[in-house]
Amino acid sequence: MMIELKEYGLYLGILTVRGIYLEDPELLLRRLREEFSGLNVQALNVKNLAGFKHILVSVLTALEAINHKLNIAKNLSMEVLVRASVQRQITEAINILGVKKDICDVTFIVIGEKCEKVEDALNALIRRYDGHIDEHLLEEDRSSQIMEIYGISEEEVKAENEYSKGRWEAIKNLIAEKVALTLTL
């Protein structure tokens, strides 16, 4: 999936893969960042993501934080991770959304100024993880997991549910709100 972030002159690429084995997640990220130099690359653990909106709002919030010199991390890739985790500490953010050594589901985020470079990176990832690509995985209902990880109460869900198309949508909206509010912390 590719999106133009016109206000920022950037392109956002998102690819979700199911059930890949990661021997050394840090090495993987280092190699991806070398291979796709000039791009911001991040890999997030899908099990603690609340859908596409969670990623989009996290990227936009990270960009706003950097633009207003409110960033916590030194680069956009890490700022996205921190904002998406709704944390102030990088180590806590990694604990929540970082990929771990094992078989896991991963969302790759690629951000860059040139559409072609982001597309090339996504295509390289598609070739690398052929057979594991799952466009629907990101939107699978993980309500209980997300509520527990991000401290969302049943009362909050009930209140938001009045304005949403179901429980999972309500939870995704609440997460987007929590991410956006990290700018005010």
Domain span at 7: 2-141
Query: Distance between CA atoms of 123 and 110, rounded to whole angstroms?
Result: 11
Tokens of 7: 């206000």
DSSP 37: T
Q: Please say whether the beta carbons of 84 and 179 come within 8 A.
A: yes
Total number of domains constituting the chain? 1
pLDDT of residue 71: 95
146 lies in some domain: no
68 lies in some domain: yes
24 lies in some domain: yes
90 lies in some domain: yes
161 lies in some domain: no
pTM: 0.95
185 lies in some domain: no
Across the chain, which has 185 residues, the per-10-residue mean pLDDT values are 96 97 93 96 97 98 97 96 96 96 96 98 97 95 97 96 93 97 86
Query: Distance between CA atoms of 142 and 63, rounded to whole angstroms?
Result: 27
Other Cβ atoms within 10 Å of 184 Cβ, number: 6
CATH of the domain at 125: 3.30.2380.10
94 lies in some domain: yes
Tokens 């190699």 belong to 31
Three-point CA angle 62, 47, 142, nearest 5°: 105
49 lies in some domain: yes
- 12 to 43, 119, 179: CA distances (angstroms): 13, 9, 18
Query: Distance between CA atoms of 27 and 7, rounded to whole angstroms?
Result: 33
